[in-house]
Amino acid sequence: MILKLNVTLHYRLSEPMDLLLQIEAADLADQRVRSAEIWTSDVAHFSRVTADDGIGERIWIHAEGDFSCTYLAEIAVDRPALDISALSQTPLHLLPGETIRHLMPSHYCPSEQFHAFVDAEFGNLAGGARIAAMRDWIESAFSYVPGSSHAQTTALDSFAQRQGVCRDFAHVLVTLARASSIPARFVSVYAPDMTPQDFHAVAEVYLEGSWHLIDPTGMADADTMARIGVGSDASSVAFLTSFGSMDLINQSVSVTRQA
């Protein structure tokens, strides 16, 4: 499947400042970048750095005044749609080193507070079967309510309120997986069929020796997503981080599919 991406950003900066941009789809074995172009308004600095877990890149920018950016790409996604419930859990002592930090609590995913809940609610299940049950529980128990959360909302807040947006759904699934001793990370992706279209957030869990994408909102399938970046939680994969104040002028994301 081919995804065609068209992203535009336009912000007004209050003063000269540094920006950290992460909007380009990563070039990976299961998603190849067929073509890509990115343009920005005049900036004083533009340089690339490796993103978390070596997936994708971030771009350092120093700019002032109005900052705008356009990104166009075609991504070939070649990823099977697996039955996550059939996958087994990797024993902790066999986990590779790079997965271990994704077992640990993070700022938005306080997994140490959920051990009793996952044992009580999902204790009869293990591995992928537990992850599938958690995904289904979140999708059915939570309401997708735009504007119901903010930048400081944690998985604990979302769990108590039973509502949120894709960011919050992903945080809850990551948190419950980590509380079950399954490595899990937060993933920013492009996905078609989103209404309205925007950057999307999902989870990725480590089972049977590899990472597997899961969308607890139920809006996107694993074989239709293109990863942008991964991290411990949303703080690691913001599409634009500003080191100063700025105002949004315009932003649009278009993701269309070709057979």
CA–CA dist 132, 246 (Å, integer): 40
Provide φ and ψ at 172, rounded to 5°.
-65, -45
Count the neighbouring beta carbons within 10 Å of the beta carbon of residue 91: 8
* Confidence at residue 258, expressed as pLDDT on a 0 to 100 scale: 82
Per-residue pLDDT tens over the stretch 174-199: 999 999 999 999 999 999 988 889 99
Q: What is the pTM of this model?
A: 0.95
Closest of 130, 190, 154 to residue 5, by C-alpha: 190
Per-residue pLDDT tens over the stretch 34-58: 999 999 999 999 999 999 999 999 9
Closest of 70, 69, 17 to residue 44, by C-alpha: 17
Residues 204 and 185 sit within 8 Å (Cβ to Cβ): yes
Per-residue pLDDT tens over the stretch 112-162: 999 999 999 999 999 999 999 999 999 999 999 999 999 899 999 999 999
Percent of the chain with pLDDT over 90: 96
Q: In this model, does residue 259 exceed pLDDT 80?
A: no
* Confidence at residue 194, expressed as pLDDT on a 0 to 100 scale: 85
Residues 20 and 240 sit within 8 Å (Cβ to Cβ): yes
Q: In this model, does residue 81 exceed pLDDT 90?
A: no
* Confidence at residue 210, expressed as pLDDT on a 0 to 100 scale: 95
Calculate the average pLDDT of the chain. 96
Residues 157 and 171 sit within 8 Å (Cβ to Cβ): no
Q: In this model, does residue 201 exceed pLDDT 70?
A: yes
What is the enclosing helix (H) or strand (E) of 159?
helix 155-161
Residues 6+ apart with CB under 8 A from 27: 33
